[in-house]
């Protein structure tokens, strides 16, 4: 069965009948939902640029499915923030349900990879951090999680060394491979699944490398995986 995410990430419009259903019966949307789990502070130099401690265990938070940005749509800077940052990240798509997944079997639980942007209201996040409050207002807002075209992991030569980058207005601003991660894909999947059952269609944002910065209306963001452009976002 095709999920809501599939509609949104492959850029198709919802069928007319479902569009009608969606607006008339918003609370009883019939398609299965999914969740987005995001890892924070997974690259040493990014933790340092935000003056955070390097964690000894994965830090994670969540975004709802309403954080997805429908394909071909622009990202509008929300009214509540003056400091929205881009954070480019490798994104995994979970392919089967799992709980308490052992690290050694974790690779079986995702089958596709892409790049995504974890848009962050840094001004709000800073206030929340200072007060010890949850990050959701800074992280989970609508359209804060644009996700690129997925590619099968079988197409990638080395899953431990995936090169990705973000260009801002044609200039590279973030670049890394997941070799630089503090916690590997396997560690992340194993750790998160101790707390939360992972289900088919869920996404995991695996953390951003250094180079985050503010976006402004008119900016053009392009994210690449192994040199291939998988995501294109206009900021308005």
Which residues would be at the binding site for Mg ion (CB under 5 A)?
Answer: 87, 118, 208
Alpha-carbon distance of 24 to 21, in angstroms, equals 5
Q: How far is the CB of 150 from Mg ion (least distance, A)?
A: 19
Q: Of 109, 227, 221, which is closest to residue 173 (Cα–Cα)?
A: 221
Q: How far is the CB of 77 from Mg ion (least distance, A)?
A: 18
34, 75, 189, 225 alpha-carbon torsion, rounded to 10°: 130
Q: Among residues 118 and 167, whose Cβ is nearest to Mg ion?
A: 118
Which position's Cβ is nearest Mg ion? 118
Q: Among residues 109 and 119, whose Cβ is nearest to Mg ion?
A: 119
- What contacts 171, CB < 8 A, 6 or more positions away? none
Q: How far is the CB of 12 from Mg ion (least distance, A)?
A: 27
Residue 191, Cβ neighbours under 10 Å: how many?
17
Q: Among residues 7 and 121, whose Cβ is nearest to Mg ion?
A: 121
Q: How far is the CB of 208 from Mg ion (least distance, A)?
A: 4
Q: Among residues 144 and 193, whose Cβ is nearest to Mg ion?
A: 144
Residue pair 210/190 in contact (Cβ under 8 Å)? The answer is no
């Amino acid at each position: 069965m095709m999920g809501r995410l599939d509609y949104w990430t492959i850029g198709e419009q919802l069928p007319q009948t479902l569009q009608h259903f969606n607006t008339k019966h918003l609370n009883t949307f019939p398609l299965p939902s999914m969740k987005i789990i995001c890892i924070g502070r997974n690259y040493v130099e990014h933790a340092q640029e935000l003056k955070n401690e390097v964690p000894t265990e994965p830090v994670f938070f969540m975004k709802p499915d309403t954080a997805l940005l429908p394909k071909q749509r622009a990202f509008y800077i929300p009214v509540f923030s003056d400091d929205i940052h881009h954070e480019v990240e490798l994104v995994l798509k979970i392919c089967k349900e799992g709980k308490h997944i052992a690290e050694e079997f974790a690779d079986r639980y995702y089958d596709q990879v892409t790049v995504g942007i974890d848009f962050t209201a840094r001004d709000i996040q800073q206030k929340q951090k200072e007060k010890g409050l949850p990050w959701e207002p800074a992280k989970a807002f609508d359209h804060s999680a644009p996700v690129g075209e997925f590619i099968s992991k079988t197409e990638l030569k080395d899953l431990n060394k995936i090169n990705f980058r973000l260009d801002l207005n044609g200039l590279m601003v973030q670049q890394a491979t997941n070799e630089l991660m503090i916690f590997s894909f396997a560690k992340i999947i194993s750790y998160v699944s101790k707390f939360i059952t992972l289900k088919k269609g869920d996404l995991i944002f695996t953390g951003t490398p250094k180079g985050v910065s503010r976006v402004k209306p008119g900016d053009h963001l392009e994210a690449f995986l192994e040199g291939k452009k998988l995501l294109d976002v206009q900021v308005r």
